[in-house]
Amino acid sequence: MSNLILSVLMLAGTALLAGGVFVLRKGDNKKQGWLMLVAAAVMFANVGIGLIPVPDSNQPLSAQSAG
Write the DSSP assignment of 27-67 as a string of letters. Answer: -S-HHHHHHHHHHHHHHHHHHHHHTS---GGGS-HHHHHH-
Domain that holds residue 19: 2-52
Nearest to 6 by CA among 38, 47, 39, 41: 47
Structurally, the chain folds into a number of domains equal to 1
**pTM for this structure?**
0.75
Q: Rg of the Cα trace of the chain?
A: 17
Q: What is the pLDDT, as a whole number, of residue 51?
A: 87
Within a domain: residue 62? no
Percent of the chain at pLDDT > 90 equals 60
Asked whether residue 48 is assigned to any structural domain, the reply reads yes
CB 34 within 8 A of CB 20: yes
